[in-house]
Amino acid sequence: MSSATSVAEEIVDYDEALERYDPVMGLEVHVELNTATKMFCGCATGFGADPNSQVCPVCLGLPGALPVVNEKAVESAIRIGLALNCEIAEWCRFARKNYFYPDMPKNFQTSQYDEPIAFEGHLDVELGDGTTYRVEIERAHMEEDTGKSLHIGGATGRIHGADHSLVDYNRAGIPLIEIVTKPLTGAGKRAPEVAKAYVGALRELLRALGVSDVKMEQGSLRCDANVSLRPRATGDQSQDDVPLGTRTETKNVNSLRSVERAVRYEITRHAAILDRGDKITQETRHWHEDTGVTTSGREKSDAEDYRYFPEPDLVPVAPTRETVEMLRGTLPEAPGERRRRLQNDWGYSDLEMRDVMNAGAVALIEETVAAGATPAGARKWWTGELARRANVEGRSVEEFGVTPAHIAELDRLVRDGRLNDSMARQVLEGVIAGEGAPTEVADARGLELVQDDGALEAAVDKVIEANAEVAQKVRDGKVQAAGALIGQVMKEMKGQADAGKARELILAKLS
Amino acid sequence: MNTDPTRLSAAELAHAIASKELSSVEVVQAHLDRIAAVDADVHAFLHVDGAGALDAARAVDERRASGEDLHVLAGVPIAVKDVMATKGLPTTCGSKILEGWIPPYDATLVSRLKAAGMPILGKTNMDEFAMGSSTEHSAYGPTHNPWDLTRIPGGSGGGSSAVVAAYEAPLAIGTDTGGSIRQPASVTGTVGVKPTYGGVSRYGLVALASSLDQAGPCTRTVLDAALLHSVIGGHDPMDSTSINAPVPSVVEAARRADVKGLKVGVIKELGGEGYQAGVRARFDESVTLLQEAGAEVVEVSCPSFDYALAAYYLILPSEASSNLAKFDAMRYGLRVLPEGIEDPSAEQVMAATRDAGFGDEVKRRIILGTYALSSGYYDAYYGQAQKVRRLIANDFSTAFEQVDVLVSPTAPTTAFKLGDKLDDPMSMYLQDVATIPANLAGVPGMSLPSGLADEDGLPTGIQILAPATQDERLYNVGAALEKMLVDRWGGPLLAKAPQLTAKGA
Ligand SMILES: [Zn+2]
């Protein structure tokens, strides 16, 4: 039974679920590499091109066409493997994963099976409470992406109920790296946070490696979350001795926040089923960002048979140790080291740095600072206004179309005294609304601090005259009373004045 | 010189065209006339491209007239097995499922023929997706053996061997997965070469079994095969499995034709039980001739060869089941809507199309391969077959430590009657028992005519095998033997073939 209609399923309270069950996760992350050409042919890989404009006999799977491995993609795979502290295979092969689907041109996917390019690694991720969780990596392997089906005429955009379907093969053959963790145990209550922190850390790492655009909303980073529950160990039983439960695999998890929410949801859903004494169905689940629930996809039995066998059209990949060491030399610094260095460079407190990490904004701030912003300014916008909005809207900060260059420009406008804080917020609104870069938005919206000291002075005089009592308090040395006057002046100036300057003027006149 | 251009070898035609005794247009036209006269009986072509061939011939003639330096085979026409992608020309692989498909690209091999200025006469018949040893599994009807039209021309490339045997083309391209060039050569009295795996690009060759397929020449003489081999051979960056080394000096070897001091190994396991007496007799004579010419002949044992057929019929179907998955009605070729189903799903269309579009032999092998790759059976079937494959490669290595070349009869029998083995797949499979080991090990092999069997007067073939990348040894030994045999016969074997008469002439 697999129905696409979403029926609200019973769930239990998260904390209750955790009292009775121990969650175990397995995370599979697909990363689209940003190589100029596809995995096995010379076609371009740019996002958003006209449908079927980036195709050739090879990636269309025309009869007779043959694949040739993209050496750049292999290099990226090795660098990812090394950055994840993996072993790199001395010799490995591609394999064919056979199944029929219209968006797969050859009806097999060229992938890797029992001989992945990288295996046995780990990634340490920092959690909100300052502790570190080690995510053990089972493997990272190379494969090609499939095409994309577009179902026309149905209500859901799914194949069910559609009139007809169109397939765009531009994505077919784009190099993918699939990174698979070992079963993640011992996270307990923090399991959803670990999932989010891992995907976030992975994204930072991949961005630092420069191997992918890592845009979750465009699908260049995709996460499938496997979740299972097992009973809490009792007595002197060790939790490790309790066998794993049946897992579900949640697909379509397209933001960091969703990773956390989806894992959390599945834990509460599994717990409800197990509480009833029922069995978990091993299946694929679809995550619905809007409703925050998962629904049943296709049932996935152990009998699903992809008839893997070594790809006879490709020769084995056998990177020499010299090549591997050369690539190791190109790795960016380890995430922990990098974090410490940046925190030091930027002068952030531990708490501030953790906020930055939690917002997944380390690389963004780095780029923003590189574009000319002050570290404080960069942090303020990415972890303040943008993170708040992202949280409210359930999106990631990158999805707003705001770039590090925008924030650097905004920061400069504030520092140059052209905008005050509330005006800068309005400008940011405009940037998010697609009105252009900060200066353009400020110009178009007529946002600019009044630089005419005459006007400001007149306003100050007017306010002092109208508030003689408050003015006297300031004269008597109660400097904090000036705040009320400053507010009045700003009001008088319709917000278009520099509050600092107003304060200076008031204090000068009342001294 | 013979006045009928179709009776000349490719080497002779090349010379005549280069010296302007004949124009390429005249040569092409002569072959088109011959095709028109006899192909209704032989049915070796699935598609004849007269206009395209004449255009190409005219272009070569013009380039020659303007004094351009041209390739040695420029202007010499050729036929291409219908398994090679040809831009703008139908490519069906002998299957209904590809009926009407016109590839938008040329196979690398086809590009090389075109670059050499060789006009392409058309596409030749074959067993569907190269599965078979008789062309009877072609969805477009069988090809008939020019020696006896009631008999099979071999397969899968029966069309390519028949066109050269019937003088419809001086040269043809075949492909050999388990003997599909060599066995047809053997039963049609022609020459066929399967180069070293990776010696000729597979880009554009519609794959049957990727790890076994290899394209090569189908000709009437060893020298012609060498000339063609040097056109199509060599590294291709579009094929990862292509060997990155210069083409072996095959033409030089064919001209050398000297076996003095060479060690020739007769494979003990190939030639005993199941081999027709006449095939065996002609083979023994050829071996004696080599000995008389100064070669040292020894018997060599390759014990694993006994398991070659079994391993082959696991590896081939496994790869084929995956290679043929792309024929699903989604992007090209046949599309059949299932009967009685309103609004069918993509999967139902795929199933209906594959059911209607594939013949029985193809379905048999897809089912076999799907089974062999299934989890739980993989180790016992595909896995074991790969082990046998390694043992066979080891047998070759050991043998080639003792001898320079190996020899055996090419096929166990002469051409059988059309329809004789259609209901007995196992006996059909046994046609390739001697040719399969070379594909499993990737070594090169050649078949050339060894004579006519006494019992039926039909051609027999001898197979020569050499170590990987040592293809020139085939040409050296083959040319030497050919010369002695032709002397003994008093002319080419094909001269003894009955004359085909034009239908209605
Ligand atoms: Zn392509």
B373/A307 CB distance under 8 A: yes
Burial B423-454 (b: 16+ CB within 10 A, else e): eeeeebbbbbbbbbbbbbbbbbbbbbbbbbbe
CA of A41 to the centre of ligand 1 (A): 5
Per-residue model confidence as pLDDT tens digits over B200-257: 999 999 999 999 999 999 999 999 999 999 999 999 999 999 999 999 999 999 999 9
Q: Hey, is the C-beta of A69 within 8 angstroms of any chain B C-beta? A: yes
Answer whether residue A161 shows pLDDT above 80.
Answer: no
pLDDT at A3: 41
B240/A67 CB distance under 8 A: yes
B98/A63 CB distance under 8 A: yes
Q: What domains sit in chain A, N to C, each tagged with a CATH number?
A: 14-305 (no CATH), 333-431 (no CATH), 453-509 (1.10.10)
pLDDT at B47: 98
Q: What percent of chain B has pLDDT over 70?
A: 99
pLDDT at A160: 62
Q: Hey, is the C-beta of B203 within 8 angstroms of any chain A C-beta? A: yes
What's the length of chain A?
A: 511
The stretch A197-202 carries a mean pLDDT of: 94
> How does residue B295 score in pLDDT terms, banded at 50, 70 and 90?
very high
According to DSSP, the β-strands at B171-175 and B215-219 are antiparallel
Task: Give A307's contacts in chain B (Cβ within 8 Å).
Answer: 321-322, 370, 373-375, 378
Task: Give B105's contacts in chain A (Cβ within 8 Å).
Answer: 57, 62, 65
According to the per-residue pLDDT averaged within each range, which of A206-210, A414-418, A452-456 is highest?
A206-210
| Option in A102, A108, A315 nearest B240 (CB) | A315
**Backbone torsion region of residue A188, taken as left when φ is above 0, otherwise alpha when ψ lies between -120 and 50, otherwise beta:** left
B260's tokens: 């003095």
> How does residue B389 score in pLDDT terms, banded at 50, 70 and 90?
very high
B24's tokens: 């390429």
pLDDT at A507: 86
B346/A165 CB distance under 8 A: yes
How far apart (Å, rounded) are the C-alpha atoms in residues A379 and A385?
A: 10
CA nearest neighbour of A508 among A488, A492, A485: A485
How far apart (Å, rounded) are the C-alpha atoms in residues B476 and B467?
A: 14
How far apart (Å, rounded) are the C-alpha atoms in residues B183 and B178?
A: 9
Q: What domains sit in chain B, N to C, each tagged with a CATH number?
A: 20-305+389-496 (3.90.1300.10)
A168's tokens: 């765009």
- DSSP letter at B68? -
Mean pLDDT of chain A: 90
pLDDT at B305: 97
Regarding predicted confidence, which is higher, A497 or A106?
Answer: A106
| Min Cα separation A313/chain B (Å) | 6
B322/A100 CB distance under 8 A: no
A194's tokens: 């670990």
Residue B284's contacts (CB-CB under 8 Å, 6 or more residues apart) are none
pLDDT at B316: 98
CA of A55 to the centre of ligand 1 (A): 4
How far apart (Å, rounded) are the C-alpha atoms in residues A67 and B465?
A: 30
pLDDT at A2: 39
- DSSP letter at A480? G
The stretch A491-503 carries a mean pLDDT of: 82
Alpha helices in A7-147 (DSSP H): 14-20, 71-83
| Min Cα separation A285/chain B (Å) | 22
CB A194 within 8 A of CB A127: yes
What is the SS3 assignment for A318-345? CCCHHHHHHHHCCCCCCHHHHHHHHHHH
pLDDT at A158: 59
CA of A57 to the centre of ligand 1 (A): 6
| Option in B205, B318, B327 nearest A309 (CB) | B318
Q: Which helix (H) or strand (E) holds B267?
A: strand B263-267
pLDDT at B425: 87
Q: What angle do CA B66, B67, B71 make, to 5 degrees?
A: 115
What's the length of chain B?
A: 505
The stretch B8-33 carries a mean pLDDT of: 97
| Option in B211, B238, B331 nearest A60 (CB) | B331
pLDDT at A4: 44
> How does residue B504 score in pLDDT terms, banded at 50, 70 and 90?
very low
Q: Hey, is the C-beta of A108 within 8 angstroms of any chain B C-beta? A: yes
CB A81 within 8 A of CB A88: yes
How far apart (Å, rounded) are the C-alpha atoms in residues B147 and B186?
A: 12
Per-residue model confidence as pLDDT tens digits over A366-410: 999 999 999 999 999 998 888 888 888 877 777 888 999 999 999
The stretch A433-459 carries a mean pLDDT of: 85
Could you count the other beta carbons within 10 Å of the beta carbon of residue A276? 10
Per-residue model confidence as pLDDT tens digits over B470-489: 999 999 999 999 999 999 99
> How does residue A421 score in pLDDT terms, banded at 50, 70 and 90?
confident
The stretch B167-182 carries a mean pLDDT of: 98
A4's tokens: 């696409």
CB A175 within 8 A of CB A76: yes
> How does residue A36 score in pLDDT terms, banded at 50, 70 and 90?
very high
CA nearest neighbour of B167 among B1, B8, B25: B8
Choice among A149-153, A343-347, B119-123, B451-455 with the minimum mean pLDDT: A149-153
A66/B239 CB distance under 8 A: yes
| Min Cα separation B375/chain A (Å) | 6
A307/B237 CB distance under 8 A: no
CA nearest neighbour of B84 among B238, B201, B228: B201
| Min Cα separation A170/chain B (Å) | 14
Q: What is the set of active-site residues of B? A: 81, 156, 180
pLDDT at A159: 60
| Min Cα separation A40/chain B (Å) | 10
The stretch A442-464 carries a mean pLDDT of: 83
Per-residue model confidence as pLDDT tens digits over B94-138: 999 999 999 999 999 999 999 999 999 999 999 999 999 999 999
According to DSSP, the β-strands at A175-181 and A132-144 are antiparallel
The single residue listed with the structure tokens 């090795």 is A78
B322/A307 CB distance under 8 A: yes
Instruction: Return the residue of B nearest to A60 by Cα.
Output: B331
What is the SS3 assignment for A483-494? HHHHHHHHHHCC
A125's tokens: 């991720």
